[in-house]
A = this chain, B = another copy of it.
Amino acid sequence: MPPTAIRSSSKPTGLECRMAVLGADVRLTPHRREVYDVLAGSTDHPTAYDILDRVKSRSPGISLATVYNCLDHLTSAGLIKQVHLARGQSRYCANLHEHIHFHCEVCGKVIDAHPAADFDPAAFWNLPKGARITRTDLAIHGVCESCASK
């Protein structure tokens, strides 16, 4: 699903902003906006700590708890995706295009890969009868070219 255009509210008085995404109206506080902006400007699937570091340059006082809060809000609003690749920290991405994650097990890099053609994974598997699908996560683990050539 292509990402919906993100717009501010027609009434951005004070700090109040909103985003209209996928029909949902999401309150966008300054912190949430910064967390979202950091993520939208990153292609490396940062962790919560990474995001804290990057947001701190603009909002020195922000706490890790707030970053987690913002990430939870943005995730449940459907603005970002949470990615579980391995044990340990979750990673996040703001790419809402249909895509999968290639995870290099050597350097840890995570690279988005986009489908060559329209493809519905659910259709290819015999899912349990009557199941309703909310989300699919495909991660391919391996070694990227630059690590393989070393």
**A residues with CB within 8 A of B:** 84-87, 90, 99-100, 102, 104-105, 111, 113-117, 119, 121-145, 148-149
When the two chains form the complex, which single residue of B111, B116, B117, B149 contacts A128, counting CB atoms closer than 8 Å? Answer: B111
Cβ B144 vs Cβ A130 within 8 A: yes
A28 to chain B, nearest CB (A): 24
- Counting every copy of the chain, the complex holds 2
Task: Determine whether the beta carbon of A138 is less than 8 Å from that of B137.
Answer: yes
Chain B: minimal CB distance from A44 (Å) = 14
Q: Closest Cβ of chain B: how far from A103's Cβ, in Å? A: 9
Q: State the Cβ distance, A90 to closest chain B Cβ, in Å.
A: 6
A-B contact pairs, 21 of them (CB 8 A): A84-B85, A100-B125, A104-B131, A105-B134, A115-B124, A116-B126, A117-B124, A119-B124, A121-B140, A125-B140, A127-B140, A130-B144, A130-B148, A130-B149, A131-B143, A132-B142, A132-B148, A133-B142, A135-B142, A137-B137, A138-B139
CA–CA, A80 and B115, complex, Å: 29
Q: In the bound complex, how far is the Cα of B148 from the Cα of A102, in angstroms?
A: 32
> In the complex, what distance in Å separates the CA atom of A127 from the CA atom of B100?
9
